[in-house]
Amino acid sequence: MGLIGALAKTVVFAVPVSATFFDLIGTVVAVEGVSMQPVLNPPECGNSNTDYVFLNRLSVNALQFQRGEIVSLVSPFNPSQRYIKRIVALEGDTVKTLDKEKCVLVPTGHCWVEGDHHGRSVDSNVFGPISTGLITGKATYIVWPPNRMQRLEVQPAGEQRVYQTKACFAQ
């Protein structure tokens, strides 16, 4: 009885405290897929190329986002699915889509997200700008495997497709 009691006490403590920590402060998730190559799951690591990243949840609650940050978000098509993408443009920006066919104005409260691996990513080029309310965390570190441990840098898009004004339409 003493053992079961102690075990129950530990569970009643550990489960809510860890759930609160994961929800409020941050959590570690495995990255699936190739859409963020070469930064995440680089191809040269072969079959064992699954990276685990730390998702910072605290900074998402503040709803402050920058161009170039890597974020996880709830898929707009399926609420049970999560994507990891990079924020390319913020509200008020204009973006030329990857196929160069049209310019999109990012509406208030929204952002434009893309995978780094162009052409192999389901992102805003498919589903359009997303509400920032769908963002669940900022990926700030690779924490596993050990030889890949590093900070994830904020990298704004290099090519000139993103305009912090309506300039895209003027071209």
Query: What positions carry a catalytic annotation?
Result: 35, 85
Number of residues that bind other proteins (CB under 8 A): 26
Q: Which of 74, 92, 91, 82 is nearest to 133 (CA)?
A: 74
Structure tokens that stand for 23 in this block: 């929800």
Q: How buried is 142 (Cβ within 10 angstroms: 0-12 exposed, 13-18 middle, 19+ buried)?
A: buried
Beta strand 110-114 with 82-90 is antiparallel
Q: Which stretch binds other proteins (CB under 8 A): 9-17, 40-48, 50-58, 159-167?
A: 9-17
17 scored as a contact of other proteins (CB under 8 A): yes
- Stretch of 18-26, 118-126, 140-148, 158-166 lying at the interface with other proteins (CB under 8 A): 18-26
- Contact present, 32 and 101 (Cβ < 8 Å): no
Residue among 80 and 147 whose Cβ is closer to other proteins: 80
Q: Applying CB under 8 A, does 104 fall inside the site for other proteins?
A: no
Residues in the chain: 171
Helices (H) and strands (E) in the chain, counts: 4, 11
C-beta of 27 vs 41, nearer to other proteins: 27
- Amino acid identity, position 30: A
130 near other proteins, rule: CB under 8 A: yes
CA distance linking residue 153 with residue 22, whole number of Å: 22
Residue span 27-66 as binding mask against other proteins, x where in contact by CB under 8 A, dash where not: ------------------------------------x---
Output the smallest distance, CB 109 to other proteins, in A. 4
A 10 A CB-CB count for 121 gives 23
Q: Which residues bind other proteins (CB under 8 A)?
A: 12-13, 16-17, 19-20, 23-24, 63, 73-80, 107-110, 130-134
